[in-house]
Structure 1
Amino acid sequence: MTDSAPPPPPPPPSSIPSKRPSTATDDAPRSRPTVKSSGHREPREKKETWRKKEGTAAGSLGGGGASREAAGGGNGTHSGKQTGNTTPKGVETESPGLVRYQLPPPQFLDYHAHRAPPLALEETPSTEGDWFVVNDHPMNRRGFRYSPCKASHLLTALSYRGTEYEPFNARINYEDMNPQVCINDAGTGVTTAKGWRMARANVGVREGDWYYECKVVNGITEGGAADGHVRVGWARREAPLDAPVGFDAYSYGLRDQCFEKVHMSRPKAFVQDRSFVTGDVIGLHISLPPLSVQREISGDPTVKSGDVIRDRLPIRFKNQLWFEHFEYQPTKEYEDLMNPATNSKPSSAPKTLPGSFIRVYRNGELIGTPFEGLYAFLPPASKPLPALGGRELDDGALGYYPAVSVFKGGAAEMNFGPEWLAKPKDLPDNVRGVWERYDEQIAEDVLYDLVDEVDLLFAPVLTDDERGGTKSLAARGGRKEVIKEMIIDDE
C-alpha cells in the first residue's frame, strides 16, 4: 500500500509508548476467613482448579480494552460485545469486536520505511562462513510477539499498519528466533554455539499443500562423527524457541541422528540404519485441509464466522515502531499429552485435522510420511494468556511454520523456493513453494487493515450500559489519553 508524501512534523512530540510496565495478574486477593463472636470460624473458601481458574480469567479478561488496562496498557472499547465460552445456552450474543485505542498522533519519521536490524559478525569456530547476531531488535517472549509497523496517511482511523523490512522474501523471522541463534547474510541459514535453539520462518501456512527444503550445512558426517546437530520440521506459534523442533505437541520434527521422527520429545523410528548428514537436502511437504473445514471442526462461533481479529498496539523500540501482539501460549491440554497427570482426571484429547500429513524427501527422493492427523490450531486449540489480556481469537497468524533447530555448531540453510536444490520428481502439481506465502501474507494483512478501518469508521461505539458500566471513549467526551509506558527488556 503506497502512502502520500509525509506532512510537516507536528509541534508536540508523539507519545507512542516505548516501554511496558511489568504486569500483574488479575486474580483478586482472597479475603481471610472471618471469626464470629461465638468463636466459630466460617468455612474456608474452596480453591478453584487450574482449569476453572483459567476459564474464569478468560471470561473476566476477554473484553479487550479492559484487559489492556488491567495489564498496564491503554484505554479501549469494542465495536461489539465479547462472547467467550461462559455465555449460557440459548442466550443470543454478538461477536467480539475490534479494540479501539486512543493513540497520539504519529511523528514525522513514523511514516518512513522500516529499517532492517543491525547485524554484528559473530565468531563461530565450529561453523565455516560468516554468521551474524541480530542486535537492538525485539524478540518474541513473555506472552507477546512483535512485528514491524508504520504510520499511514490512508488509514485515518487505524493510523498504523504493518510493514516489512529487507530482505523482502520468505526467510528466518528475526523476531521469532532464539537470541542465541546466528544467521547468514541472506537470513535463511542458522547456527548456534549453544544447546538446542530454534528459529521459525516469517511465513506460515493455514491450508493447502506447501513445500520447503533444508540443507544440512554442518552436522553429522558420513563417518558418523557429529560436528553439531540439526532438526527440521513444522511448528505452531506456541512451540518454544529454546528447545528443538518436536519438543512438544506444537511441533513435528525430524532428528538427524538415526533419521528419527520426533513429536512430544518421543523419538520414533522412521528411516532404518540411516542418519541425514552434512550436505543432505531434506524436503518437507505439509498438507492441511481448507479453512472452511477447520472452522467447522473448531466449533467456536467466532472462528466459524471466519472473523480475523487482531489485538495489537503500536509501541516504540529503538526509535522504530512495532506492533505488540498477544502471543499464543501452551495450554494444560497439550501439556498433559506430554506428561499425563496420574492423580487427576485426564484432559480431552485435542482435535486433529482430517487428511493432514507431513511428507519427507531426502535429496529429491521420497522417504515416507512420518506424521498424519496433525493437531488443529484454530481456537480453542490455541489461546493467549488471559491474565495478560489476550482473547481467544484467530488473529490470522495461527498455522504451521517452517522451523529448524540447531545444537552446538550445527548449521542448516532453509530454501523456500522458487529454485530448488533437490526438487522431488514425484512432488504433486498442487504443492506450492512456501516462498509464495510471503506476498500472500502481505495481501491478507492489507485486507485485514481495510476491514479494521471500515469497522473503526462506521461501527457504533457501545454505551456504558451496553458495555456493562465500563466507561467508553464516547462517554469520556473523546478525551485523548496517553497509553502507559511499555518495557521491552534486553536479554
Structure 2
Amino acid sequence: MLAEASSPAPEQDVDDASSLPALSTATVQQPSAHQPPHGRKRKRPPPTAASPAPSDPGSASGAVNPSELLSSRVDLSSRPRLSISRGPIFVPTAEGSEYHKTELIGVNRVGFRYVPAGINPPGYTLPCRTIESNPTTYRVSWEDRSPFITVTKDGLGLRGGTGFRSARCNAPIVEGRWYMEVKIMHGGGEHDSENGRREGSHVRLGWGRREAPLNGPVGLDGYSYGYRDKTGDKVTLSRPRPYGRAFGTGDVIGMYISLPPRREASKKDPHDPAHTKRERIPIDLKGQEVFEILEYPQSKEMIALMDYSAKSTSSASVPSAPKKAAGGKPERNGPSTANKTNAAPLRPLPVLHGSRIAFFVNGECQGVAFEDIYDYLQLRQSDTQRKAKERKRTREGVKEHRENPFNDGWLGYYPFISLFNDACVRLNPGPDFEFPPPNDIDALLDGKPVPEGESTARKWRPTCERYREFMAEQWALDEVEEEEAREEAARHAANEKIEAAKRAEKLKKKQQAEARKRAKLAAAEQQQRGTPVVDDEWSPSGTGMVGLGQPSPSPLRHGTTYGFNGEGDVENSYSPAPTPASFQGGQSGYNSDNMEAEMENGEERSASRAFSHDVRATYSETQSPRETNV
C-alpha cells in the first residue's frame, strides 16, 4: 500500500528524470542524548525485506487495503506527479567500472514483478497510471532481471556474476518479424584473470516468456529457447541439440523471431485466455510508486513435460507426469497408466503455428533453430479450477493479489540473455546493425535467397521500434481501466442510493411497528390497573361523546321509571340499557312492543315483579287520574 509514513520526494521535473538529485546511499547517525552505555545490549528491530512481496521475510501481508489507498489521496496530491520514473540509483561495482548495481527499485523475485507507476492528476478515479523510466528506449529492464546481473547506465551493457543468471528486455514481442544483435564482450569459456574461476565465462542467448525463471539459463524449460556459446547447440527443456557453430568473445550474434498475428479474444467466451485484463496493486516501494503484480506461474503441464523421464525428441508432445515407484524414483520405462483415474487430465499445450527462431553469427545464418514454439498465452482454466478460485473471495475492504488467467498486456517473447560467471555482452536493438541481415530472412531460411540486383522491401523490423508500440498499448489499457473504474463507481453509487432508500423504508416500518407495540403495551397496563380504555365513540349512557381513555359512566346510575299507557301497558320512560341501535333509529329489545307480544302469548313475565315500591310511588305521582284509576 502507499505508506503514509514515507516522506514524499522533493519536487522534481516530471519530464526530465536526468535532472533528479542523486540520493545518498548512506546516512550519518548523530549521537543521541539517550544513547545507552556501550556495555548494554540494545534490541535491534527485525530485518525488513527489500521487496514488499508477502512471501518475503519481514513482510506482514501482501494484501493492500484500497480504503487506505484512496483515503491517502490527500497525501498523494502533495507528491510530485511524474511522467518519468525516478529510476534506479546506480552504484559502481568497482571504482571506474562501467557496470553498476541498481538500488531503490523493485527487482522481480519470489513470484512478483514491479512496474513503475505515476500518480494520476485530480479528477481521475484510479490513483495511479503506468509511466516510463529512463532511458526511454528498448533496453534491458531494470526490474525484470536477476540482481546478480550488473548493467551499464544506458541499459545495453550486461555483466554476469557467479552461476547462470538471466535478464529480459523491457518490451515483449507478440507478433511479426523482429531482429536484434548481441555482441559478446567476454564469453565462450574464457577465464578472467582477476577471479581465476575454473569454469570460465559463458553466454546463452535466446527468447523467453514471462514464466521463464531468471535464476537459470535460457532453455532451462519449455518457456524459453536458447543458443549455447560453448558447443553451438540449441537448447530447450534443458535438452541440447546440435544446431550451429560455437561462438565466443568478439562475435556478434543476430537473434531473429517470427510470430504469427496475435489471436483476437472471442467476445462470446468470457473465459478465453486471449482477453486482456490486468491485476495489479499500486504500492509505495522505497519512495517510488510502483505496481506490484503477481507473476504468471508455471503450469503443471509444463512441469510434467520437464519431469518426463523418457525424454522424447519431439517437444510438441505432452506426456503425462511420471509415476514414482515404491523407492521414490520415477519409472524409467515411461509414465504408467495405472491409478490415474482420479488424476486431473493434462491440458494440451497450444503452439504458434508458423513461428520460428533463428540465429546469425557474424552475419552468417545458422538456419532455423526452433519452429512452432509454444503459445505465450495462459492455458485455459477448467471449470473445476475456476470454481475453486472463485470460492476464495477477498475479505471485505481488502484487496489481495489474484492469479490472472488472462493476458495483462505483458505476455509475449522477450530477448533473454543468460550470463555465466563474469561474461559480458552488449545489446544492439537497431536500427543500425554491424551485420545487417537480408530484407527477407524467411526466404533465406527457406533456402530461397534473393537474386543479386533484385531489391525487396524489408520484411522484418528492428526491436528498437517495439518499445514505442508497447508503451502506447499500456497507456491505452490505462484509459480502458479508468473508464471501467468510472462505470464501476457510478454503479456503486447507484446501488448505494438504492440500498439507502431500502434502509430508510425498513427503518420507517420498524418505527411504526414499535409505535403500535408501545400502544398495545400501554393499553394492557391500563387494563391491569382496572381503568378500561375506549375509543372516541358515543357514551353508553346516552350522554354524548366521551374522550379516548376516559371511563364511561355506568348505565344504571340514573333512576329508571316506567309508566302505563292507556291500554294497560307499561310505557318505557328510560331504557335501562340503551344500545347504539336505539340512538340510530333502531328499536331496543326493552320496548313496549316486546312486552305486549309476551302478554298476548299468555306468558307471565317477571317484569311486573321488578317494579319496586319506589317505582310505583314515582309512577302514581307522575301519571294522570285516569291512569291511576286504571
From 395, 410, 417, give the equivalent of 1:404.
Answer: 417
Larger deviation, residues 336-345 vs 235-244: 336-345
Going from structure 1 to structure 2, the CA distance change for 1:457 and 1:463 (only over 3 Å counts) comes to closer
2:406 counterpart letter in structure 1: L
Q: Deviations over 1:260-317 (max 9, x none)?
A: 001011111002xx31111111111111111136x57x9964447x642111111111
Cα contact 1:110–1:321 (8 A) shared by 2: no
Once the two structures are TM-superposed, the CA of residue 462 in structure 1 deviates from its matched residue by 6.4
Cα contact 1:253–1:262 (8 A) shared by 2: yes
Cα contact 1:303–1:394 (8 A) shared by 2: no
In 2: Cα distance, 1:473 partner to 1:178 partner: 50
Cα contact 2:151–2:158 (8 A) shared by 1: yes
Q: Deviations over 1:85-138 (max 9, x none)?
A: xxxxxxxxxxxxxxxx846301422413421201111149xxx96211112221
Answering whether residue 89 of structure 2 is matched by residue 118 of structure 1, we say yes
Going from structure 1 to structure 2, the CA distance change for 1:435 and 1:299 (only over 3 Å counts) comes to farther
1:22 counterpart letter in structure 2: P
SS in 1 for 2:231: helix
Residue-pair matches, total: 381
Going from structure 1 to structure 2, the CA distance change for 1:365 and 1:23 (only over 3 Å counts) comes to closer
Aligned counterpart, 1:379: 378
Going from structure 1 to structure 2, the CA distance change for 1:324 and 1:339 (only over 3 Å counts) comes to same
Aligned counterpart, 1:359: 358
Cα contact 1:364–1:425 (8 A) shared by 2: no
Aligned counterpart, 1:34: none
In 2: Cα distance, 1:411 partner to 1:114 partner: 27
* Structure with the largest fraction of helix: 2
From 41, 45, 54, give the equivalent of 1:22.
Answer: 54
Cα contact 2:351–2:374 (8 A) shared by 1: yes
Q: How does 1:273-352 map to 2 (within 5 A)?
A: 274-292=245-263, 295=265, 301-303=270-272, 307-340=275-308, 341-343=321-323, 345=340, 347-352=346-351
From 226, 230, 249, give the equivalent of 1:257.
Answer: 230
Q: Deviations over 1:32-54 (max 9, x none)?
A: xxxxxxxxxxxxxxxxxxxxxxx
**Structure 1: 5+ residue stretches without partners:** 5-17, 25-69, 77-100, 467-471, 478-491
Q: How does 1:100-139 map to 2 (within 5 A)?
A: 102=70, 104-105=72-73, 106-112=76-82, 113-123=84-94, 130-139=98-107
1:253 counterpart letter in structure 2: G
2:210 counterpart letter in structure 1: R
Larger deviation, residues 203-212 vs 422-431: 422-431
In 1: Cα distance, 2:51 partner to 2:500 partner: 25
In 2: Cα distance, 1:330 partner to 1:277 partner: 32
2:65 counterpart letter in structure 1: G
In 1: Cα distance, 2:460 partner to 2:113 partner: 30
From 396, 403, 415, give the equivalent of 1:390.
Answer: 403
Answering whether residue 478 of structure 2 is matched by residue 449 of structure 1, we say yes
Once the two structures are TM-superposed, the CA of residue 425 in structure 1 deviates from its matched residue by 2.8
Cα contact 1:303–1:378 (8 A) shared by 2: no
Going from structure 1 to structure 2, the CA distance change for 1:21 and 1:348 (only over 3 Å counts) comes to closer
Once the two structures are TM-superposed, the CA of residue 200 in structure 1 deviates from its matched residue by 0.3
Aligned counterpart, 1:90: none
SS in 1 for 2:360: strand
1:424 counterpart letter in structure 2: P
**Structure 2: 5+ residue stretches without partners:** 1-12, 16-49, 192-197, 309-320, 324-335, 393-400, 442-457, 502-630
2:218 counterpart letter in structure 1: V
2:470 counterpart letter in structure 1: Q
SS in 2 for 1:292: coil
Aligned counterpart, 2:155: 187
Q: How does 1:148-167 map to 2 (within 5 A)?
A: 148-153=116-121, 156-167=124-135
SS in 2 for 1:259: coil
Structure 1 stretches of 4+ with a deviation exceeding 4 A read 18-21, 381-388, 459-464, 472-477
Once the two structures are TM-superposed, the CA of residue 204 in structure 1 deviates from its matched residue by 0.5
Going from structure 1 to structure 2, the CA distance change for 1:214 and 1:200 (only over 3 Å counts) comes to same
When the two chains are superposed, the root-mean-square deviation of aligned CA atoms in Å is: 3.7
Once the two structures are TM-superposed, the CA of residue 73 in structure 1 deviates from its matched residue by 2.5
Once the two structures are TM-superposed, the CA of residue 328 in structure 1 deviates from its matched residue by 0.6
Aligned counterpart, 1:168: 136
1:267 counterpart letter in structure 2: P
Higher relative contact order (CA 8 A, sep 6+): 1
In 1: Cα distance, 2:108 partner to 2:250 partner: 31
SS in 1 for 2:473: helix
In 2: Cα distance, 1:309 partner to 1:214 partner: 33
Once the two structures are TM-superposed, the CA of residue 155 in structure 1 deviates from its matched residue by 6.1
2:436 counterpart letter in structure 1: K
Larger deviation, residues 386-395 vs 175-184: 386-395
Aligned counterpart, 2:213: 240
Once the two structures are TM-superposed, the CA of residue 206 in structure 1 deviates from its matched residue by 0.9
Cα contact 2:53–2:112 (8 A) shared by 1: no
In 2: Cα distance, 1:395 partner to 1:74 partner: 22
Once the two structures are TM-superposed, the CA of residue 139 in structure 1 deviates from its matched residue by 0.9
Larger deviation, residues 142-151 vs 340-349: 340-349
Going from structure 1 to structure 2, the CA distance change for 1:155 and 1:208 (only over 3 Å counts) comes to farther
1:357 counterpart letter in structure 2: R
Once the two structures are TM-superposed, the CA of residue 207 in structure 1 deviates from its matched residue by 1.1
SS in 2 for 1:447: helix
